[in-house]
Structure 1
Amino acid sequence: MPESQPPALTPPALIAPEPPVLAPVQRRTMVVLVIMQIIGTVGVGVAPSIGVLLAGEVTDNEAWAGLARTASTLGAALLGLPLGNLAARRGRRMALASGWWIAAAGGAILVAAAQWNLIVPLFLGLLLIGAGSAVSLQARFAATDLAESDHKARSLALVVWVGTLGSVLGPNLGVPGEIIHRATGLTVFAGAFFLAAICLGLAGTIVFLWLRPDPLLTLQRASPSTTAPAGKKPNPVRRILAELRENRPARFAVIAILTAQVVMVSIMTMTPVHIAHQGGSITLIGLTISLHIAGMYALAPLVGFITDRYGHRPTVGAGILIFLVSLIIGALRPDGTGWIITSLILLGIGWSFVNVAGSALFSKVVSPQTRASSQGGVDALSNLCGATAAFAAGPLLAASSFSMLSLLAIAVLIPLTALTVSRGHTPKA
């Protein structure tokens, strides 16, 4: 019996605009997502700095520490697609809540790993806490489900932006961790992850209780064309690949998202190690990563406005230029603390321009039938590329220098730059 063919993808240009009656639901959705994102990203922000330092302390081996540093990013990659598929089946509320609770469990495991220097719980905890990164990323797509077509980038950027507070506070949880250490006897790192677990669990509870009605399910009910015909359940990976083969703007958006992630993660992950090798304190490392994360998120509303106003391709181009300035500084002035901090801030801003523009474009042009699964798949692939880049960056830094790492990151930008400049291969949007 011949295999049934999956339903044809609905061209984005033929999708009817969201009915005005959905506007109140969108406003409520944005309020819940904003509160959830602020609280949850406090827990997520622990991994890039305190998690990196804990990995070095527990393993006492650079090779193992490098693998541990990538564990949270790998966890986000492994869980991105399943959480996206869960959203497609059960809605955003169940997917986001489940992701935050998995991350909270990871945070709790890391308390034990930090307290008793346990290697296996360290890897498991970092792997599970990566679910927080996955749902934090998916929240930006949830903001676009019911947004008007010409406001999608701004809605997406707002959710990215509010993560600034949590993501900046997260790397500095070592400070309240010291208070918990004095009060309870937990180590500083264990106290930090204890607070992270509380924040992650609370974020899941908030979205589970109050993200009603569910934005994705509401969109599906309002637009029946957004769901596949009954009885046909094509493989989600196959459908995503078919989408990318047929949809050139979506392909460009994916390349932009992946490139930004590889460049940013490879440099950001190794910066705490580089500063520590130069004798920098945990306070300086936390401040540097906090300023970097502020660069990633603080200008997001402006980037969203620029994207909606001037188009996705010019915004990606601006991000590439900012990336180049950041990496040139890192290559030429790797030993100057002030220069490294400046480079990391610009690295975050460059990521913001490319990622916000690429994500908004993908959300706009992807077909309704693959919306949630494709978004989860792109985030999973993005985190997998980030994990690979972070893992490779460790040996590269050990074998060469921070300058060489910056030069290699510049080389990664070349394909995206060529696609952005070539009008024949990029969308007009």
Structure 2
Amino acid sequence: MTPDVQRRTLAVLVGSQVLSGAGLAAGITVGALLAQDMLGSTDLAGLPTALFTAGSALAAVAVGRISQTRGRRPGLAAGYLAGAVGSAGVIVAAVAGLPVLLFAALFVYGAGTATNLQARYAGADLAAPAHRARAVSTVLVATTFGGVVGPNLAAPTGDLAVALGLPALAGPFLLAGAAYALAALGLFVGLRPDPLLVARELDLRQPAPDTSTGGPRHGLALGALTMILTQVVMVAIMTMTPIHMHDHGHGTAAAGLVIAIHVGAMYLPSPVTGWLVDRYGGVPVAAASGFTLLAAGTLAAFAPVDSVVLLAVALALLGLGWNFGLVSGTALLTDAVPLASRAKVQGTVDVSIAIAGAVGGLASGVVVAAASFPVLALVGGLLALAVLPAIVALASDRAYALPPE
């Protein structure tokens, strides 16, 4: 029964991730531009990303607690529904020209981001330990399809918004609201039986694992830290890239293309990353995330401002480094936490990830205003290397550097 339930679970999650990826990426593409347009300043252009990532922190707590007590299905469905409500609020704020309402709506919109990430845990609930990272990657890679399409629909949905009498930059949030609502409906109807509840029933029949070696503690700490570092670096550089391009004469379509490539690189390599983690362990892939993000930041910092191609390559590396960090960190974390408290701990860690993203988004605008985009990109790349001393300090048990026998 379990393999059949796992296949059904992954199928439903893949469908919801395609939809939510479109909603997530559409908002990322124009959120900063909308704030800049309404405020008339670049100083707070990073605030939208900070707000919806801060909102995702609150949503991560809520989704985690609902999942802990009632299962993945109601938790994930509620999170996506909140994202749809936030999208509608952004549209109303854009029409009314109310920055305060915009910021409040973006905070609620962040629930979609948190839910999109939390869905990866549902893919791992019933997976065998030796295939857990690949199960996570299957859920993540599904986001690619919607994530690549979403930014490239920024211009067409903007035209649709204008035809409906709405501001052009509100257009992508029409797509986001519809996508999140459909994802919520699909999960609520289709995610039966609930994978977390089934996993708990099966776990009760198994002997308790030996956790006396200290390895799980190391896995939890290293997994959480890797995801936090990769999130803050990725969000900071990603947030200001459309602004950087806009300020140097590139249009919305070009910015949308670069963000689409970035989002594709965030999720498309997931099957390969999952195989690497299952084969070689989470620690080597976590280390690779630091080096990849450094390469991304360096290239973004020194790329000529008129080169869309080099910026696209830099943002692709940024997405790849984030993918390495998320898949390896998720596997380390999931392996370290028992099922009885798994959803709650996962939600708590995702709060830290969301807060890191909020800090990165908010600080990005301040750094660019005070210095420049190249300074932001280079500092971000160097910050990613902090994962290396963390690996040395926290991964003393080689069981987490090598796959289980």
Structure 1 residues 324 and 271 mapped into 2: Cα distance closer, same or farther (>3 Å)?
same
Q: Give how far 1:181 is off.
A: 3.3
* In the alignment, structure 1 residue 248 sits paired with structure 2 residue 228: no
Instruction: Please state how far the C-alpha of 1:95 moved relative to its aligned partner.
Output: 0.3
Aligned-pair identity (%):
36
Task: Map 1:96-245 to 2 at 5 A.
Answer: 96-181=76-161, 183-224=163-204
Paired with 2:89 and 2:296, the residues of 1 have a C-alpha distance of: 36
Partner of 2:270: 300
Secondary structure of the corresponding residue to residue 65 of structure 1: coil
Matched, 1:365 2:360: no
- Give the counterpart letter for 1:59 in structure 2: L
| Equivalent residue runs for 1:8-19 within 5 Å | none
C-alpha displacement of 1:372: 0.2
SS of residue paired to 1:258: helix
Contact 1:47–1:72 (CA under 8 A) maintained in structure 2: no
Q: Is the 8 A contact 2:262 2:316 kept in 1?
A: yes
Distance 1:254 1:421 in 2: 15
- Residues 319-359 of structure 1: per-residue CA shift (max 9 Å, x gap): 22222221221233252432222111111111111211111
368, 382, 386: which one aligns with 2:357: 386
Q: Is the 8 A contact 1:41 1:132 kept in 2?
A: no
CA distance in 1, matches of 2:88, 2:275: 39
Cα distance in structure 2, aligned partners of 1:245 and 1:134: 28
1:236 alignment partner in structure 2: none
Instruction: Provide the aligned C-alpha RMSD in A.
Output: 2.0
Scaled by the length of structure 2, what TM-score is found?
0.92
Give the gaps of 5 or more residues in structure 2: 207-213
Question: Aligned-pair distance for 1:152?
Answer: 0.5
Please give the alpha-carbon distance, in whole angstroms, between the structure 1 residues aligned to 2:43 and 2:110. Answer: 20
SS at match of 1:114: helix
Counterparts of 1:166 and 1:48, CA distance in 2:
13
TM-score by length of 1: 0.87
- Judging changes above 3 Å, is the alpha-carbon distance between structure 1 residues 158 and 58 closer, same or farther for their aligned structure 2 residues? same
Partners of 1:64 and 1:412 in 2: how far apart? Answer: 22
In 2: Cα distance, 1:200 partner to 1:225 partner: 37
Match of 2:74 among 91, 94, 106: 94
Once the two structures are overlaid, the 10-residue window that deviates more, 53-62 or 289-298, is 53-62
Match of 2:251 in 1: 281
* 2:1 aligned with 1:28: no
Contact 1:261 1:386 survives alignment (8 Å): yes
**Separation of aligned partners in 1, 2:373 and 2:159:** 34
**Residue identity matched to 2:238:** M
Partner of 2:28: 48
C-alpha contact 1:93 1:211 (8 A) present in aligned 2 = yes
- The whole-number CA distance in structure 2 between the counterparts of 1:257 and 1:425 is 20
Counterparts of 2:130 and 2:352, CA distance in 1? 27
1:309 corresponds to which residue?
279
SS across alignment from 1:143: helix
Between the aligned partners of 1:211 and 1:275, the Cα distance in structure 2 is 41
Whole-Å Cα distance in 1 between the matches of residues 304 and 229 of structure 2? Answer: 23
Aligned partner of 2:209 in structure 1 is none
Q: Residue type of the partner of 1:89? A: T
Q: CA offsets per residue over residues 276-316 of structure 1, 9 Å max, x none?
A: 11111111111111111111111111111111112111112
2:34 is aligned with what amino acid? L
Q: Which amino acid aligns with 2:396?
A: G
Asked if 1:415 is matched to 2:386, the reply is yes
Gap runs ≥5 in structure 1: 1-20, 227-243
- Contact residue 94 and residue 170 of structure 2 kept, 8 A: yes
Q: Partner letter of residue 171 of structure 1?
A: P
Question: Any idea what the Cα deviations from partners look like across 1:130-154, whole Å, max 9, x if unmatched?
Answer: 1011110010000000011111000
1:47–1:126 Cα contact (<8 Å) kept = no
The total of aligned residue pairs comes to 393
- Measured in 1, the distance between the counterparts of 2:158 and 2:118 equals 32
Moved more, 264-273 or 320-329: 320-329
Offset at residue 225 of structure 1 (A)? 7.8
Pair 1:325 & 2:298 matched: no
Tell whether the 8 Å contact from 2:287 to 2:387 is kept in structure 1 after alignment: no
Note if contact 2:87-2:105 (Cα within 8 Å) is conserved in structure 1. Answer: yes
Whether the aligned pair in 2 keeps the contact of 1:67 and 1:391 (CA below 8 Å) is yes
How far off its partner does 1:246 sit?
7.2
Residue 350 in structure 1 maps to residue 330 in structure 2: no
Contact 2:29-2:154 within 8 A present in 1 as well: no
Matched, 1:424 2:404: no
**Paired residue secondary structure (1:424):** coil
| Letter paired with 2:365 | G
Q: Offset at 1:121?
A: 2.0
**d(CA) in 2 for partners of 1:209 and 1:368?**
24
Q: 1:245 to 1:378 in 2, by over 3 A?
A: farther
Corresponding position: 1:338 with 2:309? yes
TM superposition shift of 1:318:
2.1
Determine the C-alpha separation between the residues in 2 that align with 1:405 and 1:179. 33
Question: Does the Cα contact within 8 Å between 1:334 and 1:402 map onto a contact in 2?
Answer: no
The alpha-carbon distance between structure 1 residues 183 and 391, as it changes in their structure 2 partners (threshold 3 A), is closer
- Shift of residue 170, structure 1, vs aligned partner: 1.9
Deviations 1:79-134 (A, max 9, x none): 11121011000100000000010010111111112223221221122111110111
